[in-house]
């Protein structure tokens, strides 16, 4: 085994992990606040990708700028989905919420299919081809920028949740919905904002990877499943868990591709998931609940 | 109902004679997805364990039968059972890992998804079984190889599969197995407290469900003649399997079939009409919109709604199970007279000097809080022992330690001369130690009688006998007139009596009552005191947590006082009422009014 290859895998995985983290932060926020699992998470992300594709091809805006627009658009979509659909089943049994989100996922995925067709796409960015050699390994500039932006966004989101009034209100509602209601919180508004912010995370994440990862409508499903893995591994509802979990899963997949073969890379993250589920079901950073 | 079933069967049997071959195809899909939905329903619906990895069982079953047929020439008629057995083995592994480690809700969903995905990736990478390209079966038209030139044969096989799965579900539903599954779905901890071995029954449900689903894999393989890892093990197939029973009504017998009759033709027709003209995906958009619509407008599923509409039309009141015996009195006294001496004072039935329950040095810590510290406690045979203490003294923790819901950090509990530390709650219940919960935990969607029957099944495994016993108990706790009411709609006083009745139905030697009077008004308290006296008079020892001083002083032979996890006093009600430590810690001036003069 070539050491350089392993180092390269480690580095690429780590840098790509920023996007995984951002994606998982969005999912964990939605789950933490509403106890609703967003099965359409990956499909929302694919819409973020296609949006940045449209902005790049029609308006010539680089994805590393347009991610702000994509985040805003997905915020609106998340808000709509929450207000129009999720809000109505917030007290319904678990399986009904899952069914609803599966329905949303189907609609989003196939709208993308009708609109953009089944062929894999990728956005061209001037950053895409640039690399930087660090001794024996190279750094993909696109990945580096993606990593930095994704981590900055995650940090910004944490600051929003811990340092602003609205953020504190969101955390209060997540901790105890009833208590928040009693002290006069507009919980519906909190839910809508949380879902919007969660979706905005994948909007940004989608735009950021649109020049790295070739995508097509069915990509959403595997992105959803990866987000679920990360969130469980990191700990449901934990922002730090989502951040670290994202990096961990990405590195594990990247090394899996090096040591095994690329088509087996997901095997590593699923095995990791099963080990976590069995021995530490609350996740690496989750609170232990009996 | 019976005639409707016979008529429907006759129509389905005769139908292929008049249908076009395209219509036959649609019916085959309806039956096949109805079958898979029914198989999933056993674990996903009845037991409430949402598996979104059932495609893995289809895949394992299908691949096994296909490989056995291709490589060893084994007929799929045998191979299908080998495949189903392997699927059941996989189901047992997933179930054991998930249930053993207490994964519920979304965590279980993900465990099943993860296993299915691992299977998919593994199969795609094993070239010996076709790898990513999959397997193709050569068409020979040989019935011994599960191949038929006439599509109508597949029609009858798919119909038979659906009927077999439905018959299985029907048989399960009527027996202890099915009743226990429903109890586990409603409230697993409450079910455990009533003697239900949740792990065992969830495992059984998983194994039956995955076995049936595995059978379906063979049908899939030999109906389509091709097996691709991505379609056979993929999440989309798992989703197809679960949406029909959920749309039709999860945990109902006809829900999966109804769901398949609604969704399958719609999916096929929209594929036919919207899938044309290169508009890939349009029919799936319609499908997604349909799912969203069902959730918003039929949140409990189509079948329960349909049943309610039909019942309203025929003006028959909802009846679950066999009807009342004729001439059953509608007016019942709120509390039936109990045997023994309802007004007897505690001294009238003296406890024997023989402990039924002994706890020594019982300790339990939660983080920095020592909830229970070195507690010694003994309940004599026939005794009514009161356990009191200020809020947060650790009383409920003691109950949880005694009944197996928590394991002590140190100390021992022996019940009827054997140690019960480490035993699960259901085993302790079966030994004769039953408990109630401070915050009542009825199975909300079951009737009063069904709730109590779960308890009665601990001693009477036959569903009918358990029902008769449950009816006696319901009568005894004064809920006779309410026996068919859904537990979720009861008043608090009724719920408390239901909680008591359910525990009583397990025929305990020792009953642990956790604040059964909290929140009740004086009349209701009188009623429940009479009830407790009656239970005690019938020979049950009782350990009672209670804040109502008047009641606890009047009922108990002895009282143990806890404060900050430690026993600060023990003695007769009169001793306790005058104990300076107790007065200091807890009673204050309350005892002046509470103590018997």
Contact B287 A100 (CB under 8 A): no
Confidence band, pLDDT 50/70/90 cuts, at residue B437: very high
Confidence band, pLDDT 50/70/90 cuts, at residue B595: low
pLDDT-wise least confident of A20-24, A163-167, B154-158, B464-468: A163-167
Q: Chain-wide mean pLDDT for chain B?
A: 86
Q: Which two tokens stand for residue B174?
A: 């009527």
Confidence band, pLDDT 50/70/90 cuts, at residue B114: confident
The answer for B 266-295 residues in CB contact with A (under 8 A) is: 279-282, 284-285, 287-292, 294-295
8 A C-beta contact, residue B569 and residue B582 = yes
pLDDT value at B456 more than 70: yes
Q: What is the pLDDT of residues A1-13, one digit of tens each?
A: 578 888 888 888 8
Contact A271 B118 (CB under 8 A): yes
- Whether B359 and B306 share a structural domain: no
pLDDT value at B253 more than 70: yes
Dihedral of the alpha carbons of B365, B370, B374, B380, in degrees to the nearest 10:
-80
- Whether B421 and B514 share a structural domain: yes
- Burial letters for A2-15: b for 16+ Cβ neighbours within 10 Å, e otherwise? eeeeeebbebbbbb
Rg (CA), chain A: 19
- Give the percent of chain B with pLDDT over 70: 90
Residue B303 lies inside a defined structural domain of this protein:
yes
**Residue B420 burial class via C-beta count within 10 angstroms: exposed 0-12, middle 13-18, buried 19 and up:** buried
- Whether B307 and B363 share a structural domain: no
Residue B336 lies inside a defined structural domain of this protein:
no
pLDDT-wise least confident of A268-282, B120-134, B363-377, B415-429: A268-282
- Whether B184 and B304 share a structural domain: yes
8 A C-beta contact, residue A15 and residue A144 = yes
The pLDDT of residue A39 is 92
pLDDT value at B592 more than 60: no
Residue of A nearest to B101 (CA): A278
Contact A232 B110 (CB under 8 A): yes
- Whether B272 and B360 share a structural domain: no
- Whether B151 and B85 share a structural domain: yes
8 A C-beta contact, residue B542 and residue B532 = yes
Q: Which two tokens stand for residue A213?
A: 């990862």
Q: What is the pLDDT of residues B515-573, one digit of tens each?
A: 988 888 888 888 899 999 999 999 899 999 988 888 888 899 999 998 888 888 899 98
pLDDT-wise least confident of A101-105, A144-148, B201-205: A144-148
**What is the least distance, in Å, from the CA of B465 to any CA of chain A?**
32
Contact A270 B105 (CB under 8 A): no
- Whether B449 and B300 share a structural domain: no
Q: What is the value of ipTM here, to two decimals?
A: 0.87
Query: Who among A95, A221, A236 is closest to B50 (CB)?
Result: A95
- Whether B359 and B287 share a structural domain: no
How far does CA A155 lie from the centroid of its chain?
Answer: 14
Q: Chain-wide mean pLDDT for chain A?
A: 87
- Cα angle A50, A189, A168; round to 5: 100
8 A C-beta contact, residue B56 and residue B230 = no
Q: At what angle do helices A41-58 and A3-34 cross, to 10 degrees?
A: 110
DSSP state letters, A90-113 = TTS-HHHHHHHHHHHHHHHHHHHH
More confidently predicted of B442 and B316: B442
Within an 8 Å CB–CB cutoff, is residue B189 touching chain A?
no
Contact A117 B280 (CB under 8 A): yes
The answer for B 291-320 residues in CB contact with A (under 8 A) is: 291-292, 294-296, 299
Q: What is the pLDDT of residues A226-245, one digit of tens each?
A: 999 899 898 888 888 999 99
Query: Who among B114, B117, B281 is closest to A114 (CB)?
Result: B281
Residue ranges making up the domain that contains B558: 354-594
Residue of A nearest to B118 (CA): A267
- Whether B300 and B358 share a structural domain: no
The pLDDT of residue B593 is 52
- Whether B453 and B570 share a structural domain: yes
- Give the percent of chain A with pLDDT over 70: 98
The pLDDT of residue A72 is 96
Q: What is the pLDDT of residues B310-352, one digit of tens each?
A: 777 665 444 444 444 443 433 333 444 444 333 344 444 566 6
**What is the least distance, in Å, from the CA of B409 to any CA of chain A?**
16
Return the CATH number at B466.
Answer: 3.40.50.300
Contact B299 A263 (CB under 8 A): no
Name the 3-class secondary structure at B382: coil
Name the 3-class secondary structure at B361: strand
The pLDDT of residue A224 is 92
Rounded to 5 degrees, φ, ψ at B185 are -60, -40
Distance separating alpha carbons of residues B135 and B132, to the nearest angstrom:
9
pLDDT value at B250 more than 90: no
Residue B536 lies inside a defined structural domain of this protein:
yes
- Whether B296 and B218 share a structural domain: yes
Report DSSP state, residue B281: T
pLDDT value at B113 more than 80: yes
**What is the least distance, in Å, from the CA of B266 to any CA of chain A?**
15
pLDDT value at A146 more than 70: yes
Residue B77 lies inside a defined structural domain of this protein:
yes
Residue B484 lies inside a defined structural domain of this protein:
yes
Contact A92 B299 (CB under 8 A): yes
Contacts of residue A107 in chain B, CB cutoff 8 Å? 285, 288-289, 292
Q: What is the pLDDT of residues A39-48, one digit of tens each?
A: 999 999 999 9
Q: What is the pLDDT of residues A86-102, one digit of tens each?
A: 999 888 877 788 889 99
Confidence band, pLDDT 50/70/90 cuts, at residue B164: very high
Residue B318 lies inside a defined structural domain of this protein:
no
Residue B346 lies inside a defined structural domain of this protein:
no
- Burial letters for B555-577: b for 16+ Cβ neighbours within 10 Å, e otherwise? bbbbbbbbbbbebbbbeebeebb
The pLDDT of residue A42 is 95
Return the CATH number at B115.
Answer: 1.10.3470
Contacts of residue A264 in chain B, CB cutoff 8 Å? 121, 125
- Last residue in a domain, options B259, B281, B313: B313
pLDDT value at B371 more than 50: yes
What domains appear along chain A, each with residue ranges and CATH number? 3-279 (1.10.3470)
> Among B1-15, B183-197, B271-285, which range has the highest average pLDDT?
B183-197
Residue B228 lies inside a defined structural domain of this protein:
yes
8 A C-beta contact, residue B261 and residue B26 = no
User: pTM for the whole thing?
Assistant: 0.86
Contact B235 A274 (CB under 8 A): no
The pLDDT of residue B535 is 92
Confidence band, pLDDT 50/70/90 cuts, at residue B109: confident
Distance separating alpha carbons of residues B519 and B596, to the nearest angstrom:
23
The pLDDT of residue B78 is 94
Contact A229 B110 (CB under 8 A): yes
8 A C-beta contact, residue A226 and residue B113 = no
Region A106-111 average pLDDT: 93
Number of domains in chain B: 2
The pLDDT of residue B317 is 47
The pLDDT of residue B596 is 53
- Whether B231 and B100 share a structural domain: yes
The pLDDT of residue B548 is 85
- Last residue in a domain, options B280, B298, B313: B313
Strand partners, B542: B384, B511
Contact A109 B281 (CB under 8 A): yes
Contact A278 B97 (CB under 8 A): yes
């Amino acid at each position: 085994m070539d050491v350089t290859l392993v180092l390269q895998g480690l580095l690429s995985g780590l840098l790509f992990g920023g996007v995984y983290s951002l994606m998982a932060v969005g999912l964990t926020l939605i789950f933490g606040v509403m106890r609703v699992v967003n099965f359409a998470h990956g499909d929302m992300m694919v819409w973020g990708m296609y949006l940045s594709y449209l902005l790049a091809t029609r308006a010539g805006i680089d994805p590393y700028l347009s991610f702000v627009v994509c985040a805003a658009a997905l915020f609106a979509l998340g808000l709509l989905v929450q207000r129009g659909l999720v809000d109505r089943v917030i007290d319904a049994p678990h399986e009904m919420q899952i069914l609803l989100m599966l329905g949303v996922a189907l609609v989003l995925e196939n709208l993308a299919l009708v609109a953009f067709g089944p062929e894999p796409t990728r956005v061209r960015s001037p950053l895409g081809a640039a690399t930087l050699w660090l001794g024996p390994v190279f750094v993909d500039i696109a990945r580096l920028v993606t990593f930095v932006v994704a981590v900055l966004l995650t940090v910004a989101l944490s600051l929003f949740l811990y340092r602003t009034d609205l953020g504190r209100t969101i955390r209060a509602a997540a901790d105890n919905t009833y208590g928040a209601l009693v002290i006069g919180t507009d919980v519906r508004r909190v839910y809508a904002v949380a879902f919007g912010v969660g979706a905005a995370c994948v909007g940004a994440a989608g735009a950021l990877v649109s020049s790295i990862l070739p995508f097509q409508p069915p990509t959403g499903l595997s992105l959803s499943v990866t987000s679920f893995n990360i969130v469980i591994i990191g700990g449901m509802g934990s922002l730090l868990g989502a951040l670290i979990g994202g990096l961990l899963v990405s590195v594990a997949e990247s090394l899996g591709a090096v040591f095994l073969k690329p088509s087996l890379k997901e095997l590593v993250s699923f095995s990791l998931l099963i080990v976590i589920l069995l021995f530490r079901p609350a996740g690496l950073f989750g609170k232990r609940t009996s | 109902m019976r005639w409707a079933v016979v008529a429907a069967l006759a129509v389905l049997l005769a139908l292929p004679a008049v249908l076009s071959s395209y219509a036959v195809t649609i019916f085959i899909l309806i039956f096949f997805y109805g079958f898979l939905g029914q198989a999933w329903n056993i674990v996903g619906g009845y037991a409430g364990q949402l598996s979104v990895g059932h495609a893995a069982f289809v895949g394992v079953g299908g691949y096994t039968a296909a490989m056995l047929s291709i490589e060893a020439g084994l007929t799929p008629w045998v191979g299908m059972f080998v495949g189903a057995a392997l699927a059941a083995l996989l189901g047992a592994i997933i179930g054991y890992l998930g249930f053993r480690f207490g994964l519920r809700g979304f965590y279980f969903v993900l465990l099943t998804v993860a296993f299915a995905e691992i299977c998919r990736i593994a199969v795609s990478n094993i070239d010996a079984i076709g790898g990513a390209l999959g397997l193709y079966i050569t068409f020979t038209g040989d019935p011994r190889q599960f191949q038929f030139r006439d599509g109508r044969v597949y029609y009858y096989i798919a119909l038979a599969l659906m009927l077999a799965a439905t018959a299985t579900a029907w048989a399960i539903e009527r027996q202890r197995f099915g009743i226990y599954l429903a109890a586990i779905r409603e409230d697993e901890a409450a079910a455990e407290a009533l003697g239900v071995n949740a792990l065992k029954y969830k495992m059984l449900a998983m194994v039956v469900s995955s076995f049936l689903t595995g059978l379906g894999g063979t049908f899939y393989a030999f109906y389509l003649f091709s097996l691709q890892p991505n379609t056979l093990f993929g999440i989309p197939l798992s989703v197809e399997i679960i949406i029909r029973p959920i749309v039709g009504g999860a945990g109902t017998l006809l829900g999966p079939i109804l769901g398949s009759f609604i969704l399958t033709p719609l999916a096929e027709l929209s594929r036919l009409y919207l899938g044309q003209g290169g508009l890939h995906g349009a029919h799936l958009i319609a499908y997604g919109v349909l799912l969203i619509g069902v959730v918003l407008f039929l949140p409990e599923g189509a079948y329960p709604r349909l049943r309610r509409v039909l019942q309203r039309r025929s003006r028959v009141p909802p009846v679950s199970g066999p009807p009342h015996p004729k001439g059953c009195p509608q007016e019942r006294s709120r509390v039936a007279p109990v045997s023994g001496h309802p007004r007897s004072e505690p001294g009238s039935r003296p406890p024997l000097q023989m402990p039924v329950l002994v706890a020594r040095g019982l300790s339990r810590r939660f983080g920095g809080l020592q909830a229970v510290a070195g507690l010694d406690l003994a309940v004599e045979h026939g005794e009514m022992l009161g356990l009191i203490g200020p809020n947060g003294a650790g009383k409920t923790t003691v109950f949880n330690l005694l009944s197996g819901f928590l394991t002590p950090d140190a100390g021992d509990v022996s019940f009827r001369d054997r140690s019960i530390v480490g035993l699960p709650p259901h085993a302790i219940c079966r030994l004769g130690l039953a408990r109630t919960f401070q915050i009542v935990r009825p199975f909300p969607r079951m009737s009063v009688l069904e709730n109590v029957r779960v308890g009665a099944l601990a001693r009477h495994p036959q569903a009918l006998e358990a029902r008769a016993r449950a009816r006696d108990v319901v009568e005894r706790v004064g809920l006779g007139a309410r026996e068919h009411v859904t537990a979720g709609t009861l008043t608090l006083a009724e719920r408390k009596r239901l909680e008591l009745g359910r525990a009583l139905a397990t025929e305990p030697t020792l009953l642990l009552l956790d604040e059964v009077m909290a929140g009740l008004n004086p009349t209701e308290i009188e009623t429940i005191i009479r009830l407790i006296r009656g239970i005690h008079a019938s020979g049950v020892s009782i350990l009672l947590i209670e804040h109502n001083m008047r009641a606890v002083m009047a009922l108990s032979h002895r009282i143990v006082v806890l404060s900050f996890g430690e026993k600060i006093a023990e003695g007769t009600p009169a001793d306790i009422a005058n104990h300076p430590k107790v007065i200091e810690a807890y009673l204050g001036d309350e005892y002046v009014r509470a103590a018997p003069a």
